């Protein structure tokens, strides 16, 4: 257990010492959402209709763009190799690393989402389903993104390749996340979809670290 | 059984074996496709609703099934490669990606062509169509990742991991998009007693075309794998022996 706390502390410490990595995805999230009313027009009825989709898609892209800071610097200075060689259980180290990354990149998105939702005139009763969905969905996005990042960290220019690999895998989360908001707006229950998202999170927590470790071993070689 | 599996893992055995059976496979495929296509496209009665349009289903349905089967085949090969380090499995997996992508694209294209007169639109965000499109993206991603690596060995392993992650996602993608209202029809009830909408004279030729396309798929995979074997084993004696004749004449 101590290794989990130590890894988590290290991740947070590094993040707070170079806040750019933390702030840039958030800024991307805010700016990209701002582009939509400018692009599609500021009609309130229309905006409230697309609000949840816009927030979900931009949050998804923000998570993907933030992935680079997860393994890149560790790969370059060799500490990733040390992590893989360490006698501690690698599964938990990776899980702690990803959890730390979610705390600094995923959680702020969820916290910022209500402000953007009200800017896009999202109906009041849809706010809670949106936040609940993001709360369960962004960790899944981070875990899946970490797989893609682990596969491409050894390549010099991996930005667009990461998008090609990861975005198809993000689709189920997007469908359930926006479906949650839609069924709340339609006055239907959301517990079923919430449970499905939760199940996907459990599945991702269990299986994704295995794929991440396998991918990192290939990349470090 | 185990001995047979062991042999299948040997590139040389695979090469000579497939070389022996290839003429039979090609002949069978030509017969099946020829009979099925001529029968299906020229001699079956037109549908009472769709007229002649429905004939494109003779290509569309088998392409879609083969494409999906190809993804699972690629995933099995990826698992075999990662777990047992069988080189042959990776060669087949490498061959699967472009062939599967082509069949997926063919299924999407024929579906669109069929959709314009029948549904009135060539594309719609329907569950089936969307999940097939995502499968196309998965095939492209696997190929892109493999070619991004300089080292063939790393590229092979990385694309195998991605294939397996994708295979977890294929059912999830399929069911997640089924939550939307869907326009695409389900599978038809094919039996000799079901004569209402799909009489046997309509779907029996479909079986010929289906198995014919399956044969075509196998031929494509085997030919690609054979080329890959020759490239990777080019420094071995047996490949020099085979190619020696061809080279010696020049």
What pLDDT, in 10s, does the model give residues A38-57?
A: 998 888 889 988 999 999 99
Average pLDDT over residues B180-197: 55
A139 is in which domain, residue-wise?
2-220
**Is residue B145 within 8 angstroms of chain A, CB to CB?**
yes
- What ipTM does the predicted assembly reach? 0.87
* pLDDT tens column, B72-123: 999 999 999 999 888 899 999 999 999 999 999 999 999 898 888 888 888 8
Higher pLDDT, B89 or B241: B89
Interface contact A164-B140, CB threshold 8 A: yes
Between CA A136 and CA A195 the distance in angstroms is 10
B150 and B89 Cβ atoms separated by less than 8 Å: no
Distance of CA A38 to the CA centre of its chain: 25
- Chain A positions in Cβ-Cβ contact with residue B164 (cut-off 8 Å): 211
Residue A71 has pLDDT above 80, yes or no: yes
Q: Kindly state the average pLDDT of the residues A167-187.
A: 88
CB atoms within 10 A of CB B6: 11
d(CA A174, CA A49): 16
Cβ–Cβ < 8 Å for A75, A154: yes
pLDDT of residue B117: 84
The domain total for chain A is 1
- In this prediction, residue B114 carries a pLDDT of 87
**Angle between helices A90-101 and A191-220 in degrees, nearest 10:** 120
Residue in chain A closest to B135 (alpha carbons) equals A168
Q: The whole model's pTM is what?
A: 0.87
Using an 8 Å CB-CB cutoff, list residues of chain A that contact chain B: 144, 147, 151-152, 154-155, 158, 161, 164-165, 167-169, 171-172, 175-176, 179, 200, 203, 207, 211, 214-215, 218-219, 221
Q: Which of residues 207-236 of B touch A (CB under 8 A)?
A: none
Å between B171 CA and nearest CA of chain A: 10
Averaged pLDDT of chain B: 84
Angular region, A78: left φ>0, alpha ψ -120 to 50, beta rest? left
**Residue B58 pLDDT > 90, yes or no?**
no
Judged by average pLDDT, the poorest of A52-66, A91-105, A125-139, B203-217 is B203-217
* pLDDT tens for each residue of B6-36: 777 788 888 988 889 999 999 999 999 999 8
B158–A172 C-beta distance less than 8 A: no
Cα–Cα separations (whole angstroms), residue A138 to A72, A191, B43, B144: 20, 18, 55, 26
C-alpha B93/C-alpha A65 separation (Å) is 30
Q: How far B170 CA sits from the closest chain A CA (Å)?
A: 9
Q: What pLDDT digit, counting tens, does each position of A108-152 carry?
A: 999 999 999 999 999 888 899 999 999 999 999 999 999 999 999
Tell me what pLDDT residue B1 has. 61
Q: Which of A171, A203, A218 sits opposite B161 (nearest CB)?
A: A218
Asked if the Cβ–Cβ distance from B161 to A211 is below 8 Å, we say yes
Which residues from chain B sit within 8 angstroms of residue A211, using beta carbons?
A: 161, 164-165
- Residues linked to residue B51 through DSSP beta bridges, in sequence order: B47
Are the beta carbons of B166 and A169 separated by less than 8 Å?
yes
Distance from CA of B132 to the nearest CA of A (A): 11
pLDDT of residue B193: 52
**Residue B250 has what pLDDT?**
46
């Amino acid at each position: 257990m101590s290794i989990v706390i130590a890894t988590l502390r290290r991740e947070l410490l590094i993040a707070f010492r170079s806040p750019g990595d933390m702030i840039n995805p958030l800024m991307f999230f805010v700016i990209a959402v701002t582009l939509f009313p400018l692009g599609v027009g500021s009609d309130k009825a229309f905006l409230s209709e697309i609000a949840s989709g816009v927030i979900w898609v931009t949050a998804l892209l923000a998570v993907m763009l933030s992935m680079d800071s997860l393994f890149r610097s560790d790969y370059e200075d060799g500490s990733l190799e040390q992590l893989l060689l360490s006698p501690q259980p690698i599964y938990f180290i990776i899980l702690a690393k990803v959890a730390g990354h979610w705390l600094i990149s995923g959680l702020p998105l969820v916290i910022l989402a209500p402000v953007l939702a009200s800017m896009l005139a999202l109906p009041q009763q849809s706010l809670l389903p949106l936040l609940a969905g993001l709360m369960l969905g962004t960790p899944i996005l981070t875990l899946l993104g970490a797989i893609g990042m682990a596969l491409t960290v050894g390549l010099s220019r991996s930005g667009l390749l990461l998008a090609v690999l990861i975005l198809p895998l993000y689709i189920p989360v997007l469908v359930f996340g926006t479906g949650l908001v839609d069924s709340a707006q339609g006055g239907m229950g959301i517990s079923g979809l919430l449970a499905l998202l939760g199940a996907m999170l459990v599945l991702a927590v269990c299986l994704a670290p295995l794929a991440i470790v396998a991918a990192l071993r290939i990349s470090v070689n | 059984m185990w001995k047979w599996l062991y042999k299948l893992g040997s590139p040389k055995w695979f090469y000579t074996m497939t070389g022996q059976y290839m003429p039979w496979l090609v002949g069978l495929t030509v017969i099946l496709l020829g009979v099925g296509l001529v029968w299906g496209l020229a001699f079956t009665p037109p549908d009472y609703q769709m007229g002649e349009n429905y004939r494109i289903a003779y290509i569309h349905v088998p392409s879609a099934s083969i494409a999906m089967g190809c993804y699972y085949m690629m995933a099995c090969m990826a698992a075999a490669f990662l777990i047992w380090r069988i080189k042959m499995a990776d060669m087949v997996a490498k061959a699967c990606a472009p062939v599967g992508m082509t069949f997926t694209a063919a299924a999407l294209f024929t579906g669109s062509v069929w959709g314009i007169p029948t549904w009135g639109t060539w594309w719609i965000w329907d569950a089936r169509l969307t999940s097939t499109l995502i499968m196309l993206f998965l095939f492209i991603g696997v190929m892109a990742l493999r070619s991004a690596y300089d080292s063939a060995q790393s590229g092979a392993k990385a694309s195998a991991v991605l294939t397996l992650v994708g295979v977890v996602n294929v059912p999830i993608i399929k069911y997640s998009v089924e939550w939307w209202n869907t326009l695409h029809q389900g599978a038809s009830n094919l039996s000799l007693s079901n004569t209402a909408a799909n009489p046997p004279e309509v779907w029996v030729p479909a079986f010929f075309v289906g198995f014919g396309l399956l044969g075509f798929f196998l031929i494509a995979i085997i030919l690609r794998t054979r080329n890959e074997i020759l490239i990777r084993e080019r420094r071995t004696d047996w490949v020099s022996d085979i190619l020696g004749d061809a080279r010696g004449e020049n």
